[in-house]
Structure 1
Amino acid sequence: MEEQLFEATRAGSKRNDAGPSRGGGEMQSTTGATSLKLLLDTNAFIALEPTSTAVERGLEFGAELARLAAEGGHRLYLHEATRRDFARDHDLARRSAHLALAAKYPALSGIPKSALADLLTRLDLPAPPLSESNDAVDLEMLAAVGAAAVDYLVTDDARLRGRARRTGLAENVLPLAEAVQLLRDLSPRPLKPPPAVEHVLSYQLDPHDPIFDSLRDDYPGFDAWFAGVRRAHRPAWIIRHDDGRYAGVMLVKEETDTPYGLPGRLLKVSTLKVTDEAHGRRYGELLLKTLFNHAEHHSHDAIYVTVFERHATLVDLLTAFGFRDHGRSPVGELVLAKGRRPSVQDAALDPLKFHTTFGPPAIDTRAPFFVVPVEPRWHDVLFPDYPGQLSLLTGEHPYGNALRKAYLCNAPTRRVAPGSTLLFYRSRERSAVTVAGVVEDVHVSHLPEEVARYVGRRTVYTLEDITRLCRSARPVLTLLFRQDRLLEPAWSRGELKTAGVLNGHPQSITEVCNEEGRHWLQERLNEQR
C-alpha cells in the first residue's frame, strides 16, 4: 500500500526529540485540531490593540492575526515582563490603556531560571541585564521560547530577532506579517493559483510601482541609475499582487570584469525585493529558484549581491542559500557572494553543506540515496513546476514553488539522515523518478503539536490534516529537504530496474543499497550538473 503523503514547505523549529511536548497542556481548536501558542512582543500587541487615533504600523496585520487566532483556537499571550514594562510608562493615559487592554490576554510567567541562564551563555553575557531594561524584557521572552512555553514569539523588533538568530531560536521568532501567514497557512482555505514569476526586460518595468519607493530611500541616485538600467534591457523577473502591483522584483546583470576579486563568469543581482505585505509567502525563495535556474542555464561561475546590513530578512535568506560575506561595497553594503564551482578541497564538506554552498543544483553523490514514492495528486502540489503537469502559472498552491520543503508520511524507515539524497518517484501513470532533493533535517513524532511546530511556518496543509496523519499507528516521519533539480527526462521504472536502483514498484521509502544502482545514479546526477 503506497504511503499517504502530506507536503509542506520548510518550517519552524528544528527539534529532533520524538518525546512529549515540553509546552505543557495543549489547547484544542473548535474543529478538534491542535492549536498554537503565540507570545506577543510590545510592537505586536500595539498592532492588535492600538490606543492612538493615528494609523499604527502593522494595524491590518494585527487585526488579521487576532481574527485568525480566534477562528483557529490559537492562544495569544503576553509575558509578565511586558506587563511590567507597561506599568513603568510615564504617560499615565497610555499606561492605563495598555494595562487595561493587556488584561484580555493570558499572562505568561514562571519560566525556569535555567532557560534564561542558557540564553545568557549563548549570548556570551556575564550577567543578566537590569530587570527594568528593554534587554531584560527581550531575554525573558526569548527564554519562554527556548523553554517551549510558547510555539512562536511575534515581534517586528529587528534587534530582538537578531538575538534569536544568535541563540538558535530564529525559526520560532516571527515578524508580524509572517505570523499572520503562518495562521493563514494552517487554516482551512480554498486553493488559489500561485503567483506567476514573469520574465520581462528591464525597460518593461514600471518605475512608478510602489515597490521601488524604499530603494529610492536607500539610494539617492536610484532614478538616474534605474533609467540607465531600463535602457540596457537587462533581464528581470516580477511577481504580482492580485491588484497588479509588484509583490516581488529581481534584476540581474552580467558582469564584464571581476569586481571584489570574484573570479570567472559573474552574475550580479542588482535588485531583489519583496514587499512587506508579501513576507511569509516564500516569494523570496521563488525568485531565488528563478535566479539559480538562470545562472545554471547560462553557466555562471558565481553570483553576488550587495545589500545593506539592516535588511536582515534578505540577508538571512541569502545566507541560508549559500551566499557568504565577501567584504563591503564603497557605500558600506555587505557584499554577499555564492560560488557555483566546487574545488578539490570542497570534497571535505558534508553532503548538506556541499549542496547549500554550491547548489542548487549540487549533490554529493557519495551520500545515501532514497527513492520516495509520491502519488500524482501530491506530486502536483509538491513540484508544481515539473514539466508536463502544473506550471508556475497554473499550479494550485504557491508554496510548492519554494526551494525548502518537507515530506510527511508514516514510513517505518529511520535510516534517512541530513545530507541524504531523495529521489521522488511519481507513481501510477508516469512511474518514474522526476525530482532530486537533499535532506536537511529529520523529525519523528506522534504529536500533532510537535509536527505543526516543526513544519508550521510554511505548510500547505491545515492543522486538521496534520492531526489526521498523526492518528496512524506509526508516528509521522517528517523530512525537511531542499529541492535540487527537476530530472528531464524522468528516469522510468524500467531503466531504474535495469540499472539495479529498484527491484519493482516502490511501496515505501526505499534505500538504494545495490552498488551497481548507486554507481548508475552517481553517473546520471553528475552528467546533469
Structure 2
Amino acid sequence: MSTSKYLIDTNVFIGLEDSKATPQNYSSLINLASKHKIDVYIHEAARDDIEQDKDLKRRAISLSKIAKFQTLSKVRGLSKAELEKSFGPIKRHNDLVDATLLHALSISAADFLVTEDRGLHERARKYSPNLVRRVLLIADAVLLLQSTYEPVAVPVNCVEEVEAYQIPLTDKIFDSLREGYPGFDDWWTEKCVKAHRKCWTITDDCIAGIIVRKDETSADTDAVNKKEKILKICTFKVRPEKRGVKLGELLLKQSLWFAQKNHYDLVYLTTFPEQETLIDLIEYYGFEHTATSESNERTYEKIISRQKLISSPEATNFDLSRKNYPRFCADDTVDIYCVPIRESFHDILFPELMRADLFSHSGISDGPKRPGNTIRKVYICRAKINSIKKGSILLFYKGKSEHEPSQMITAIGVFEDLSLAYSYNELLQLAGGRSVYTAKQFEQMKASESSPVKVINFLLVGYPDPAIRLFDLIKSEIFKQHPPQSICKIPRDASLSLLKERDLGFEV
C-alpha cells in the first residue's frame, strides 16, 4: 500500500505556524498525518508566495519554518501559458501559485490539495472539475483521514426535530452565532422560544448542527419571490469543530426533502458573504442570490416545484437534477439502471435505512436516527458496464440480507460520472472526499492495471417509500426470474410506473 501525499496551501501552513493559537482542525490534520505516516508537502511555489510578504521579519520566520515540511519542486519548463490553458487566467502572482498547485495535483505529484482559499476551490471547479474532489478544505481532509485510516462511526446520533425552547442558550452551538449577532440571545428568546419555532438538530455530546425554520406566506415574507407556501431557514449553523463531517449537507438534505414532500413553493435563507462554505453548498443545489441588504446581508432563494422536470439543451440532465434537487429528470432522454448492492456496502452508503421506520418526511417524527451525511456519494464496484449517460437514474437494489430491508430497491440516485482506478492510490484519489470506505477496504479491492475498480459518483435523491419489492420487480418484468448480479439498464416505462406509485413530492 503506497503512502498518500497531501499538499498543503500557504494559508494552511500559516495557520499551523503563525504566532496565534492553532485551530483544532489544523492540529488534527498534522496529528493524523503523522500518526498514519501520510506525507505532507509544501510546494516550492509556496516559498515564492511567502517571499511576497512585505513584512520582512514575518517573512524570515515563515521561510525558516517551511523546512519542517517536505517540498514539492517545480516542474521544469512549465510555462504560464500552459498553466493558463489548463487552469484559467493568471493575472496576479497568487493566481500563478494556485495554478501551479493544481498542476501538481493533475500530474499526481500529490493525491490531495488542502486549502482554505475559496478562489482556489472555485478555480478547480471551473477549469478542472476532474480535480474538484481532491481539493479539500482542512475539515474535509481531517474527515478523509479519519474515515480512511480510523474507521469509526460518525460522531452524531441523529437528525432530530425539536422545539426551540428545548435548547438551552448555554449550548455551545450558539457561541459563534453571538459573535456575529450581538442581539442573538434576545432574538432567540423572543422570536424562537416564545414562538415555539421548529428546529432540526444533529447531536453528539451537545448540538453539532442546527437549522431553525419558519413557515411564511407571500403576505409575511422578506423573500423576493412571493410564493404561497414558504420555508424560511432562519438559522443554519454547524459548530466550527464539527465541520468537514458533511453535517451541512445532511441538514440541507433534510430541509429540501422536507420542503419537497410537504409541498412548499420556496425555500430561502439570508447570509453574509464571509459564509463562503455555506454559500458554495446552497448554490450547488440551486439556490440563487436574489437580494442584498444595506448591511450586505444576502438573500438566497430556491423555488420548489412539483411539476415534472424536463430535459433541456442548455444543461445536462445531471446538472438539471442538481439545480432542482431533490427533483430529478426522468423524461424519455433518461436511462434507468439497476445497481445491485450487498448488505454491508448498502449499509455504509445508506445508513439511514438501517432502521425500520426509514426516513420521515412528515416533520412530525424525529427523522433518521443514523446520519447519511452526504448528498453526493461514491459507489465502488467491478461491474462490467463501462459507460453510463450522465444524469441517468440509478435504482439501488439491496440483495437478500440478514436485516431489513431485504431484496428491495431502496434508494434512488442520479449518475454523475464513472472513473477507473488502476491502483490503490488512484482509488483513494477518485473516491476521496466523498468516500466512506476504509484504507483496508480500498486495499482489499486490489485495483490494478489488469483489474481496475470502477468509481461511480452520484447524487442521492430519494428513498422510495415503501421500498420496491422483488415480487413487484418480477411482476412488472423489470427483472426476469432472478435479480441482476451486476449493474444493468432496466425497462424505463415499467420502472417509472413503480416510482410513480411512491410519493416523491413531485411528478416523475
Report the TM range for the smaller structure's normalisation: 0.7 to 0.9
Residue 134 to residue 438, structure 1, CA distance change in 2 (3 Å): closer
Could you tell me which residue of structure 1 aligns to residue 5 of structure 2?
37
- Quote the offset at 1:336 in angstroms: 1.6
Could you tell me which residue of structure 1 aligns to residue 392 of structure 2?
420
Q: For 1:329-478, list aligned pairs within 5 A.
A: 329-341=293-305, 346-348=310-312, 350-366=316-332, 367-386=334-353, 387-388=355-356, 395=370, 398=371, 400-429=372-401, 430-471=406-447, 474-478=451-455
Report the TM-score when normalising by structure 1: 0.82
Could you tell me which residue of structure 2 aligns to residue 22 of structure 1?
none
Report the TM-score when normalising by structure 2: 0.85
Could you tell me which residue of structure 1 aligns to residue 482 of structure 2?
505
- Quote the offset at 1:320 in angstroms: 1.8
* One-letter amino acid matched to 1:286: L
Residue 142 to residue 264, structure 1, CA distance change in 2 (3 Å): same
Q: For 1:210-289, list aligned pairs within 5 A.
A: 210-227=172-189, 228-242=191-205, 244=206, 246-257=207-218, 259-289=223-253
Q: Matched residue of 1:285: which SS?
A: helix
Q: Matched residue of 1:212: which SS?
A: helix
Distance in 1 separating the partners of 2:104 and 2:306:
41
Residue 177 to residue 347, structure 1, CA distance change in 2 (3 Å): closer
* One-letter amino acid matched to 1:406: V
Instruction: Identify the structure with bigger relative contact order (alpha carbons < 8 Å, sequence gap 6+).
Output: 1
Q: Matched residue of 2:395: which SS?
A: strand
- Quote the offset at 1:193 in angstroms: 5.8
Could you tell me which residue of structure 1 aligns to residue 160 of structure 2?
198
> What are the superposed Cα offsets for residues 169-224 of structure 1, whole Å, 9 maximum, x if unpaired?
54333232222222112104344664311211122222333333333343344333
- Contact kept? 1:412, 1:474, Cα under 8 Å: no
Q: Matched residue of 1:487: which SS?
A: coil
Could you tell me which residue of structure 1 aligns to residue 364 of structure 2?
none
Residue 112 to residue 241, structure 1, CA distance change in 2 (3 Å): farther
Q: Which runs of 5+ in 2 are unaligned?
A: 360-366
Give % identity.
32
> What are the superposed Cα offsets for residues 388-445 of structure 1, whole Å, 9 maximum, x if unpaired?
18887764xx5x3422111111110124232111111111142111111111221122
Could you tell me which residue of structure 2 aligns to residue 29 of structure 1?
none
Distance in 2 separating the partners of 1:526 and 1:474:
41
Distance in 1 separating the partners of 2:12 and 2:263:
45
| Alignment size in residue pairs | 484
Q: Which runs of 5+ in 1 are unaligned?
A: 1-32
Could you tell me which residue of structure 2 aligns to residue 491 of structure 1?
468
Distance in 2 separating the partners of 1:516 and 1:164:
39
Distance in 1 separating the partners of 2:145 and 2:250:
21
Residue 264 to residue 356, structure 1, CA distance change in 2 (3 Å): farther
- Quote the offset at 1:88 in angstroms: 6.3
- Quote the offset at 1:347 in angstroms: 4.2
Residue 107 to residue 500, structure 1, CA distance change in 2 (3 Å): same
Residue 200 to residue 412, structure 1, CA distance change in 2 (3 Å): same
- Contact kept? 1:419, 1:439, Cα under 8 Å: yes
- Quote the offset at 1:453 in angstroms: 1.0
**Alignment RMSD (CA, Å):** 3.0
Could you tell me which residue of structure 2 aligns to residue 153 of structure 1?
113
Distance in 2 separating the partners of 1:156 and 1:487:
38
Distance in 2 separating the partners of 1:462 and 1:469:
11
Determine which of 281, 290, 307 is the counterpart of 1:317.
Answer: 281
Q: Matched residue of 1:371: which SS?
A: strand
Distance in 2 separating the partners of 1:112 and 1:172:
24
- Contact kept? 1:116, 1:140, Cα under 8 Å: no
Could you tell me which residue of structure 1 aligns to residue 362 of structure 2?
none
> What are the superposed Cα offsets for residues 436-465 of structure 1, whole Å, 9 maximum, x if unpaired?
111122112222222211211132212231
Distance in 2 separating the partners of 1:294 and 1:190:
29
- Quote the offset at 1:524 in angstroms: 3.6
* One-letter amino acid matched to 1:502: F
Residue 113 to residue 319, structure 1, CA distance change in 2 (3 Å): farther
